[in-house]
Structure 1
Amino acid sequence: MASGQLSRAEALVCSGCRHACHVMLYSDTKAQLFGRIPIRHIILMQMRFDGLLGFPGGLVNPSEETLEAGLSRELWEELGVALAVSVEDHVASCHAPASSPSSSSRLITHFYVKKMEEEQIKEVERAAASTATDHGQEVLGMVRVPVYAMKGGGGLPSFLSHSFIGNARSQLLDALLRFDLAAPEELRKALTHSVKIHTHTSGDLRAALTHAEGEGKRS
């Protein structure tokens, strides 16, 4: 088992640990972008209140409810629809990244993947923006993961260069491979281009910081 990975049973007997469950919802689609680029899959993530990308879900208490019941409760609050998540949808459990190199994490994250019909996915998107209790507060909107690459780095390369919460980026990449939603070579190319995009973005941010500091001294 990979470093940091736990079986579901091992995770549940961890003393003093907190637990968080999240799910990747996806469907297949025959839709095309601009009538020529196959979209292939609709994969949902969300923009969180802190500006980071993540998967819907949240903290659960295994002493009061099952992991799956807790996750379904969180989905109702964040998506506005009742979705049953089962043990069969469970993909991985692991210790969340520690907040600093010298500390250890007491948070265990449980990741699920649930395949749905395309119309069901679209209903989740509609409800998340209209009836979800947490919309506009803990959750700022659902986003689709573009599982395609365009000239200039658009699509998946640009998406992967954004900021993700915790291990959400690695969860996404692992799921894309595990469920054959993207080929390994596609991901390698996307990540290579994403690094270049991130480097360019870092330069833009440093320039913006320099400008802001200059404006602050003049005010």
Structure 2
Amino acid sequence: MKFYERPLMNMLKIVAVPMHKEGRKFVAIFAAITLLLALIWEPLFWLGCGATVWCYYFFRDPVRVIPQQEGLVLSPADGIVSLIQEVVAPPELDLGDAPVCRVSVFMNVFNCHVNRAPIAGTVRQIAYHKGQFLNASFDKASELNERNSLMIETEAGARIGVVQIAGLVARRIVCFVREGDPVRIGHRFGLIRFGSRLDVYLPAGVSPLVCVGQTAVAGETILADLAAPGTARKGIAE
């Protein structure tokens, strides 16, 4: 390999990211509209090209390197850790009435929206709730917004709740798994279209290893360690 080929290949991997199949029809629609705009006015054509590229970028599905240490809880979404609170989990998750730690990851319209399983186990519960479309960064979005809730149980019996929450722009939550399905840690289990949030409910006594404001990467960022609950971390923005 010549000296200039490796940097070129690395650049192509960054730019030519694979797209999830859920995005194909949307990119096709954007492209078709762009062609129609070209017949109306050339500047509109270029705006359409930009929108089509953005749509492709929105549905990107990059390869992730998944940590395999037993007991790790990974972020199910790309985005910013927006909230860390002790709350009672939604009843449909069957996690009891005692408060547990909830870690919320907010995704804007520029984040990758493919959702990945935070832990390996079996999907025991799935419950879909219709609701509002408030800004997903609001705390009350967990209760009022449209959402899809999953409870995953590990082989050791630990239960993790993960909730896909529709946001201000999002109008469609997609879930690829069913009750009873086994999932691998980092396994793609769903997708939310156009801005949203995911909540992860940790088992009682487990503290998060991330801080509010921290950037999370789906399938790579460690939210918690069930084998070493420890104490919650603190962060300083600089």
Which TM-score tier does this pair reach, normalised by the shorter chain?
under 0.3
Return the structure number with greater strand share: 2
